Amino acid sequence: MKKLLHIDASARRSDNLTAEYNSISKSIAATFTDKWRTTNSEDIIIYRDVGVNPPDFISQDWIAAVFTPDDARTDAQKALLSLSDTLIEEVEQADIILISSSMYNYGMPAALKAWFDQVIRINKTFSFDLARGDFPLEPIMSGKTLVLITSSGEFGFEIGGIREKMNHLGPHIQTLSHYLGAETFHEINAEYQEFNDNRHTSSVKSGHKAAEDLAYKLASS
């Protein structure tokens, strides 16, 4: 039985009375999970909408708690790390991590960055050893697949595209996916939202189709 961890990150909801206000990235991610469920209904989905319920930002006390050995932590420090512990457990359980994200200011929403900051944690998701030379960090988990679904207002963020160098969303999350134990990375992008023209309609349609095909492939493999 495979487990899917689904994280949505847009600040927009997907149940607005006016459909055009709905999040595009959440809607394409929902197509993915719908197909996932119908392909293998026994697979378990853990869901978090960090756009609507953002995790706390980390703080100086949080960092001090992380660097305090497990058996020396005060009750207050344990409490401060409890959200991080829970979010990491959810990642540990997952075979597939599905993240949907808007592009905000050419990168990920702050709420999603807050989630990554809570999850990528020394001695929990990565180890640190200077004996490894210039690359002392290594992920502790392995074998996972990360699927990233994004929506942007502009276009051309792909490799070779006219805004490739402005893309701090997909490449950033792909770099971080390594520390979640992801060894395979898939990305689906809907673009042109701000142009609201045929290119946008076609990009969203292709995004839904790609999400359905990928969900079927991953759920049946």
Ligand X SMILES: Cc1cc2nc3c(=O)[nH]c(=O)nc-3n(C[C@H](O)[C@H](O)[C@H](O)COP(=O)(O)O)c2cc1C
Binding site for ligand X (CB under 6 A): 10, 12, 23-26, 102-106, 151-154, 193-194
**126-128 and 137-139: which strand pairing?**
antiparallel
- Kindly state the smallest distance separating residue 29's Cβ from ligand X, in Å: 9
The residue written with tokens 């978090």 in the block is: 48
Smaller CB separation from ligand X, 123 or 202: 202
Smaller CB separation from ligand X, 10 or 118: 10
Smaller CB separation from ligand X, 32 or 104: 104
Smaller CB separation from ligand X, 2 or 48: 48
Smaller CB separation from ligand X, 145 or 152: 152
Rounded to whole angstroms, how far apart are CA atoms 10 and 32?
16
Write the CA distances from 48 to 38, 96, 158, 197, 215, integer angstroms: 20, 14, 27, 31, 18
Rounded to whole angstroms, how far apart are CA atoms 211 and 208?
5
- Kindly state the smallest distance separating residue 21's Cβ from ligand X, in Å: 9
- Kindly state the smallest distance separating residue 9's Cβ from ligand X, in Å: 8
CB 28 within 8 A of CB 204: yes
In 3D space, the residue among 100, 7, 110, 111 whose CA is nearest the CA of residue 54 turns out to be: 111
Report how far apart the first and last C-alpha atoms of the chain are (Å, whole number): 11
- Kindly state the smallest distance separating residue 24's Cβ from ligand X, in Å: 4
- Kindly state the smallest distance separating residue 129's Cβ from ligand X, in Å: 37
CB 180 within 8 A of CB 98: no
The radius of gyration of the chain's CA atoms, rounded to the nearest angstrom, is 18
The residue written with tokens 């001695």 in the block is: 123
Smaller CB separation from ligand X, 109 or 181: 109
- Kindly state the smallest distance separating residue 39's Cβ from ligand X, in Å: 24
